[in-house]
Amino acid sequence: MNAPASPPSPYSAATKLSNVEAHTLSVLVDNEPGVLARVVGLFSGRAYNIDSLTVAEVAHAEHLSRITIRTLGAPETIEQIRHQLERLVPVRKVTDLTLGGRSLERELSMVKVKGRGDDRTDALQLAEAFRARVVDATTESFIFELTGKPEKIDEFVDLMRPIGLVEVSRTGVAAISRGPDPI
């Protein structure tokens, strides 16, 4: 006897559509135990995907933290995620930083590449072109530190694959709105 098929999630349906977009959401929350679990639970319970997640305290005296989430979905799905986040008790404010294009996004990565001879030279030339900094070097490998938009880091990593990419560590997206006003 076959188990009944689970209904498709709004996220899985949206990924098949051509209007799938990446959005970065800034979620201001009370800094208390279990808040991150509730936010992540909202995503997992509805089968939404999180591409990137960063969390840090941003106002110590007020006990506030900021969760920055990068996710994919159709505009309707992103709007649904935003509304569901707003209903969580520890959430103070949710802002879609992608809307209006008035935000900056950056990510820090460390990229380990091995190689000898021409591969080392190629790796160093690419690193210079991408403004990556050598933070560790041995006779057989480099570790590069690179900060930039996620797409820039993706491109750098793809170019390092044929040279001798070993591993990548990424912080996740940090984002902030432009101009004098807070989110």
The answer to whether the pTM exceeds 0.85 is: no
pLDDT, residue 18, reads 67
- Nearest alpha carbon to residue 60 among 25, 30, 92: 30
- The 3-state DSSP class for residue 39 equals helix
Q: Which CATH architecture group holds 103-175?
A: 2-Layer Sandwich (3.30)
Model pLDDT, residue 11: 39
In our burial notation (b when 16+ CB lie closer than 10 A, e otherwise), range 58-72 reads eeeeeeebbbbbbbb
pLDDT, residue 102, reads 85
CATH 3.30.70.1150, the chain: domain bounds = 103-175
Domain 10-101, CATH class in plain words: alpha beta
Query: What are the pLDDT tens digits along the chain (183 aa)?
Result: 444 444 444 434 444 556 889 999 999 999 999 999 999 999 999 989 999 999 999 999 999 999 999 999 999 999 999 999 999 989 999 999 998 778 999 999 999 999 999 999 999 999 999 999 999 999 999 999 999 999 999 999 999 999 999 999 999 999 999 988 887
**CATH 3.30.70.260 residue ranges for the chain:** 10-101
Contacts of 171 (CB under 8 A, 6+ apart): 54, 107, 108, 109
Task: Give the DSSP letter of residue 6.
Answer: P
